[in-house]
Amino acid sequence: MSKETILTGIRSNGELTLGNYLGAILPMVQLQQQKAGDYQLNFFVPDLHSFTTPVNHAELYKQTLENLRIFAAAGLDFSNPDTFVYRQSYIPAHSELFTILNNFAYFGELSRMTQFKEKAQQVIAEDPDTLSDLIDDIASDEEVTAPQNGKAISAGLFTYPVLMAADILLHSATYVPVGDDQRQHLELCRDLGIRFNNKFGDIFTVPLAWKDQLAFYNRDNGIRIRSLKYPDKKMSKSVSDPAGTILLTDTPAVAAKKVMSATTDSFGEIQFDFKERPGVSNLLQILALLTNQAQSSINAEWEGKTAYGDLKKAVAGAVELFLAEFQARHDAADGAQITAKLESSEQAMRQSTAAMLLRVQQAVGLRP
């Protein structure tokens, strides 16, 4: 496979949200439409990442296949020969490279990951101080005990960025279009790849830096759709925030009602400013993405107006129309085509990753 690789994926646990669609799925479909033929596109389901936060194990396998139907409904072309769709757990090399790379990652750099801190605090939300106490105990060799509230933080959550690095480096991915909440993880992947190459020679292709990634897929910044209720936080399928989260399975009417109840601000004038006015800015961003218009055009239309209700109605209408059309495409998705694509892609990926893993094994002394 001689073409440069674009790689991305979305965890398979939990129902996907409008934020997942606009921030990850739609950009991937657009990349396929723009780049297929010139690049190899690896679109994978990181099902091993699903265990880092609480998951319904009985539903995980079914949810993985359901999410692939969502990708099809979003417009991903499963017949494209340059596109590979595979499940992380079906490629054993992911797990072995993760084990090896864990020994080249440092505790300090993992403990500084913002995502780890945020998700760990969500797990033990009743006692936010527990997280800092836990890190202090580990660093000072104190005995570590489970939090009194019964919530525990898994080691998998802590080392998850290393598994993400293995996903990228294993496939020699140059381009990794992730959201801005994953920026630290991308930089850790680059650090691990460079660190390994410096010690053992030119083994890994190191993905481009964040700024170059954004330039590649023509963005000034990564898209991060916010909660409608708590716009200082992202819209998340792993957090209990029903009023602020639009699920792709919500009826159009229910989703529109959530938009109409969205938190805005008290400034009295519409302005696009995520730092000072995240609620209104989030609505403007959603409207631009769902109507396929430039953010600057949407801002020019709405900035300076004082009728927040009119903006909410416009966004609610766009969300209703999107969900009605999207859900119709989802129901018509071809399950047999998806299964066939998985099987052929996973066979190809097992072969290509075996060669890369062997190079790593030889470098670290596990193979002659």
Catalytic residues: 119, 234, 237
- Contact (CB, 8 A) for 22 and 69: no
Q: Which long-range contacts (CB under 8 A, 24 or more apart) does 52-61 make?
A: 52/119, 52/154, 52/156, 52/157, 52/160, 53/13, 53/119, 53/122, 53/123, 53/157, 53/238, 54/123, 55/13, 55/14, 56/13, 60/12, 60/13
Please measure the distance between the N-terminal and C-terminal CA atoms of the chain and give it in whole angstroms. 25
Q: Please say whether the beta carbons of 256 and 316 come within 8 A.
A: yes
- β-strand partners of 9: 44
> What is the DSSP secondary-structure string of 111-165?
HT-HHHHHHHHHHTTT-THHHHHHHHHHHTTPPP---TTS----HHHHHHHHHHH
Instruction: With CA atoms as reference, report the closest residue to 327 among 130, 127, 69.
Output: 69
Give the 3-state secondary structure of residue 277: strand
Contact partners, residue 162, CB within 8 Å, separation at least 6: 98, 101, 102, 105, 110, 188, 192
Give the pair of three-digit tokens for residue 322: 């999107």
Q: Give Cβ neighbours of residue 43 (< 8 Å, ≥ 6 apart).
A: 7, 8, 9, 28, 32, 71, 76, 83, 84, 85
Task: Please enumerate in sequence order all residues whose Cβ is within 8 A of that of 200, keeping only pairs 6 or more positions apart, or say none.
Answer: 363, 364
CA pair distance 278, 65, nearest whole angstrom: 34
